[in-house]
Structure 1
Amino acid sequence: MKILSSSQIKECDSATIEKGISSISLMENAAKKCANWIVDNFKSNQSFSIFCGNGNNGGDGFAIARMLYEKGFDVAVFIDENNSKFSEDAKINLNKIKAISGITIKDYSEFDNRDNSVIIDALFGYGLNRELSYDFKNLIEKLNQIPVPRISIDIPTGLFADKVIDEDSIVFKADFTLTFQFYKKSFLHPETGKFCGKIIVLNIDLDKDFIKEVGTDYFVTDEKLIKEIYKPRGDFSHKGTFGKSILVGGSYGKMGAILMSTLSALKTGSGLTFTIAPECGNFILQSQIPEAMFIGSGENYIDKIEIQEKAVYGIGPGLGKEKQTKKALLEFLESYNQYIVLDADALNILAENNKLNLIPKNAVITPHPLEFERLFGKTANSFERIELAKQKAKELQIFIILKDHHTAVITPEKKVFYNITGNSGMAKGGSGDVLTGILTSLISQKYEIEKSCIFGVWLHGKAGDLAAQKFSKEAMLPTDLINKIREVFKSLS
């Protein structure tokens, strides 16, 4: 799914209208989709307080109020009675509800919410490009303090569609955001996405030709894309068909990390799987994962990484940064220029020794924000971090998987794919090690690198969602996630 800028969304609206759909009909369609969702998700005796602005977002709110009232809900609408400058379409829908005696229309200042009504924010849409006025800030602060469900129409008031907000900005805190056709970039970043609650994307039938042709560097990974990427296993195949994965890592006291990487590689379908680890981990790995072959390197810490032909390497989980291990990794990278996934201590060694030039072209690196900072420098916020990642991915001709609540895959062509599977239950040590194994396995099975990254991150998050459903976010473990990979593949096939 493409992510469009606010200006592109405006162009898309215009293109749709040019095809013969009037702007008021488009507003009616958007409002109908919102009202239908609300009816399906709230009890019939629920009341609603709808806060409407003067623009088309307010027009959506007026139309939603009318439709909810017609469905039997109690509705009150709140406006700024001192400002009579409404957009043309908003004015039409305001006049329609003025003709309905059962809908009360009051000034913002008259709101008291004694009936514990659900609050609907239809104050500003995606076109907001300035800081809120003092009066709106006070209103939003008041609404945020009331312990009732809160719904935003299109985008929470106070957020911009495409950019970060100031740290002290006042923003409506939605439990649900009913947005139209596209994700906004601000929904997918931690500084801004935390205000959106659950995102519901409603298809309002905007012009398909425009959407197909319009250019963007930003995408959301959806199931449609995953089903295009996924390759079912052919019946006439053998273990060599599905590649050779070599997971490299582990050190004294950190064998769990490389164990999880190896196990996740196998669960993802790796044909032949090897683990290079210190001898102290031999019994642990061979007893826990008999399907993988063990290659010893050093006693307690890896001191050599041998190069095997026609293999994909995943290096870093539990690796440690001992002197002999640093030497082994750097010597390996000086001689190796094939497919590789680099994670954790492999990235830290490269950063500390200023050896980014050793990362092979088409490599995949998987830093979390702090590791990214060590590699490429500090940024002011996650929006800037994504832009720096685009620059570095192109410069080094590598794929960067920037781990976050919505992990982003950044390609050498500067495309960004935000992932929307996964949950906070995965915020535990070991989850990243699982991802390394998944990615290594997919690449070894000859998925294209870009597709391996997109699919691997989605698969990791989807398995995490299934684990959270069964065990809870608090109690789920990375090993539970590994065991749910099979269910994701079953659903795909």
Structure 2
Amino acid sequence: MKIFTVENIRLADEYTIQNEPVSSIQLMERAAFNCAEWIFSNCKHHTKFAIFCGTGNNGGDGFAIARMLYLKGFDVDVFINKDNLKFSDNALINYKRLKEISRISLKDFHETSQYHFDEKTIVIDALFGTGLSRKPEGIFKKVIEILKTKSNPKISIDIPSGMFADQIHDENSIIFKADYTLTFQFWKKNFLHPETGSFAGKVIVLDINLSKEFIQNASTDNFVIDDEIVRNIFKVRQDFAHKGTYGKSIIVGGSYGKIGAVVLAVKSALKTGSGLTFALAPNCGYETLQTSTPEAMFINGGEKNIQQIIAQKDAVYVIGPGLGTEKDIEKALLEFFEDYHSPLILDADALNIISKSENYLKLIPKKSIITPHPKEFERLFGKTANSFERLDLAKTKAKELEIFIVLKDHHTQVVTPEGKVFYNITGNSGLAKGGSGDILTGIITSLLAQKYTEEEAAILGVWLHGKAADFAAEKYSKEAMQPTNVIDEIGNVFLYLNKKATTQL
């Protein structure tokens, strides 16, 4: 799914209105209808809605939603700023339609503090939409501050009021904090960054049938990894294949006390379908690896840590899980780079070694994939003020080094050398445990060995990792799930993918 800027969304609206054709008020009605239907289907335990409407088109959506919810049998109170009734054209139309229903109470914003928000009431925010250009002030700021103190379920329409769609807000901004955001057609960039996304709650993207022709032809460098992207990447396993068909994966890592990292990476590579899988690890991990993953073969890389990494030109390498950063390990990695020039995956301690010198960065083979978490990224490329600046720096470095950067976060970003960004929306906070990153590197390595392109392996890898984590959370909870549970669910993700693929035939 493409992520559009506010300007591109406006152009998509205009193109749809001109070419469907549909009037702007009809398009607003379509958006409001989808919101009302979602609310009706998901909020049946609540009987009352307090809807806060601004003067722009977001307020017009709110007026239309209020009317539709009332007609479905809910009690509805609508709050407006009675000191300013200068509505946009479409908001005015829906405001007049609302006033014709005498049973819907129109209240002033100043009444908010005295209003009885009982346990059956849901708050709906339709104050400001994506056109907001400055932070809320005056009565709007006061209303948002009051609503933030209420424990009632909260829903924002299109975007939480006070949030910008494309840029980070300053630290003094006041933003409505929603439990759900019902947004139209596209994800907004700010839903996907930690500094801003927490205000949106769970994001529900509602299809309002904007022009498919416009969406297809409009250019953007930002995407959400959705089922369509994954379906276009995933390759069904062929019947007339053998182990050589699906490549050779070599997982390099481990040191005394950190063999578990290699075990997790090896297991996830095997589960993802690697044809031949090797663990290149120190001899102190031999028994653990051969016992825990008998399907994988062992290559002795040293006694208590890696002393030598033998380069095999027909294999895909991942280097880093549990590796350590001692001088002899650093020496082994640098010598490996002298002999191996194909794309590979670098993670964890391999990245920490490379961060010791700018010259080491230049040794990374072109088209390789690195998978840093924010602290590792900082050690590699320097500090940034926030995740937006970090992403901009990642785009610069991916282009400069001609590599792919998998920037791990709540919504992990795959950054390509061409400057494209793919945000992953699978996964959950149950992955915030040691070992989760080792699983991801094993998955990506296996996919790269199976002849997926570097871009495909990174995109499918982060999606698959997150999807397996979502399945694990459903079974065990985010708190109790373990990285090994995520590995166990990889098979169920492939069952899901294969079912989707055969359904398309």
TM-score range, shorter chain: over 0.9
The CA deviation at 1:42 is 1.1
The CA deviation at 1:45 is 5.2
Is residue 424–residue 462 contact of structure 2 (8 Å, CA) maintained in 1? yes
Distance 2:280 2:350 in 1: 14
Distance 1:13 1:307 in 2: 54
Quote the residue 2:369 is aligned against: 364
**Residues 1:485 and 2:486 aligned together:** no
The CA deviation at 1:334 is 2.5
The within-5 A match list for 1:291-306 is 291-306=295-310
Quote the residue 1:390 is aligned against: 395
Quote the residue 1:115 is aligned against: 118
Distance 2:315 2:326 in 1: 25
- Structure 1 unaligned spans of 5+: none
The CA deviation at 1:330 is 1.1
Quote the residue 2:215 is aligned against: 211
The CA deviation at 1:136 is 1.7
Q: Counterpart amino acid of 1:413?
A: E
The within-5 A match list for 1:341-360 is 341-354=345-358, 355-360=360-365
The CA deviation at 1:113 is 2.7
Quote the residue 1:56 is aligned against: 57
Quote the residue 1:33 is aligned against: 34
* SS of alignment partner, residue 306 of structure 2: coil
Is residue 44–residue 72 contact of structure 1 (8 Å, CA) maintained in 2? no
The CA deviation at 1:331 is 1.1
The CA deviation at 1:74 is 0.2
**Residues 1:70 and 2:75 aligned together:** no
TM-score normalised per structure 2: 0.97
**Residues 1:403 and 2:403 aligned together:** no
Distance 1:261 1:410 in 2: 22
Q: Counterpart amino acid of 1:148?
A: N
What's the CA shift string for 1:25-49, capped at 9, x where partnerless?
Answer: 0000000000000000112651000
Distance 2:148 2:271 in 1: 45
* SS of alignment partner, residue 33 of structure 1: helix
Is residue 46–residue 122 contact of structure 2 (8 Å, CA) maintained in 1? no
Quote the residue 1:8 is aligned against: 8
Is residue 362–residue 449 contact of structure 1 (8 Å, CA) maintained in 2? yes
Quote the residue 1:436 is aligned against: 441
Quote the residue 2:259 is aligned against: 255
Q: Counterpart amino acid of 1:261?
A: A
Q: Counterpart amino acid of 1:244?
A: K
Quote the residue 2:158 is aligned against: 154
* SS of alignment partner, residue 124 of structure 2: strand
The within-5 A match list for 1:194-343 is 194-343=198-347
Distance 1:46 1:378 in 2: 49
Distance 2:216 2:259 in 1: 48
Which has the higher mean CA deviation after the structures are superposed, 325-334 or 256-265? 325-334
The CA deviation at 1:84 is 1.5
Distance 1:186 1:467 in 2: 27
- Structure 2 unaligned spans of 5+: 499-505
Which stretches of structure 1, 4 residues or more, deviate above 3 A after TM superposition? none
Q: Counterpart amino acid of 1:435?
A: L
Is residue 313–residue 340 contact of structure 2 (8 Å, CA) maintained in 1? no
The structure 1 residue matched to 2:470, chosen from 455, 465, 470, is 465
Quote the residue 1:24 is aligned against: 25
Is residue 119–residue 151 contact of structure 1 (8 Å, CA) maintained in 2? yes
**Residues 1:139 and 2:140 aligned together:** no
Q: Counterpart amino acid of 2:116?
A: N
Distance 2:370 2:106 in 1: 55
* SS of alignment partner, residue 50 of structure 1: strand
* SS of alignment partner, residue 123 of structure 2: strand
Q: Percent identity?
A: 62
Is residue 368–residue 402 contact of structure 1 (8 Å, CA) maintained in 2? yes
Which has the higher mean CA deviation after the structures are superposed, 167-176 or 241-250? 167-176
The CA deviation at 1:339 is 2.1
Distance 1:70 1:114 in 2: 21
Q: Counterpart amino acid of 2:300?
A: G
The CA deviation at 1:298 is 1.2
Distance 1:119 1:315 in 2: 50
* SS of alignment partner, residue 443 of structure 1: helix
Distance 2:380 2:12 in 1: 39
Is residue 135–residue 174 contact of structure 2 (8 Å, CA) maintained in 1? no
Is residue 160–residue 181 contact of structure 2 (8 Å, CA) maintained in 1? yes
Q: Counterpart amino acid of 1:239?
A: K
Quote the residue 2:503 is aligned against: none
Distance 2:468 2:85 in 1: 52
Distance 2:305 2:138 in 1: 60
* SS of alignment partner, residue 489 of structure 2: helix
Q: Counterpart amino acid of 1:490?
A: L
Quote the residue 1:376 is aligned against: 381
Q: Counterpart amino acid of 1:269?
A: G
Which has the higher mean CA deviation after the structures are superposed, 126-135 or 7-16? 126-135
Q: Counterpart amino acid of 1:479?
A: T
The CA deviation at 1:352 is 1.3
Q: 1:473 to 1:212 in 2, by over 3 A?
A: same
Q: Counterpart amino acid of 1:147?
A: S
Q: Counterpart amino acid of 2:421?
A: V
The structure 2 residue matched to 1:454, chosen from 446, 450, 459, is 459
Distance 2:309 2:98 in 1: 73
What's the CA shift string for 1:156-207, capped at 9, x where partnerless?
Answer: 0111000111123211110000000000000000000001111000000111
Which has the higher mean CA deviation after the structures are superposed, 112-121 or 123-132? 112-121
User: RMSD in angstroms over aligned alpha carbons?
Assistant: 0.8
The CA deviation at 1:336 is 1.4
Distance 1:108 1:132 in 2: 14
Q: Counterpart amino acid of 1:162?
A: D
Is residue 44–residue 73 contact of structure 1 (8 Å, CA) maintained in 2? no
The CA deviation at 1:228 is 1.1
The structure 1 residue matched to 2:430, chosen from 425, 434, 440, is 425
What's the CA shift string for 1:320-370, capped at 9, x where partnerless?
Answer: 011110100111113211120000000000001331001110000000011
Quote the residue 2:502 is aligned against: none
Distance 1:114 1:408 in 2: 39
TM-score normalised per structure 1: 0.99
Distance 2:81 2:181 in 1: 23
* SS of alignment partner, residue 355 of structure 2: helix
Distance 1:465 1:210 in 2: 33
Q: Counterpart amino acid of 2:276?
A: L
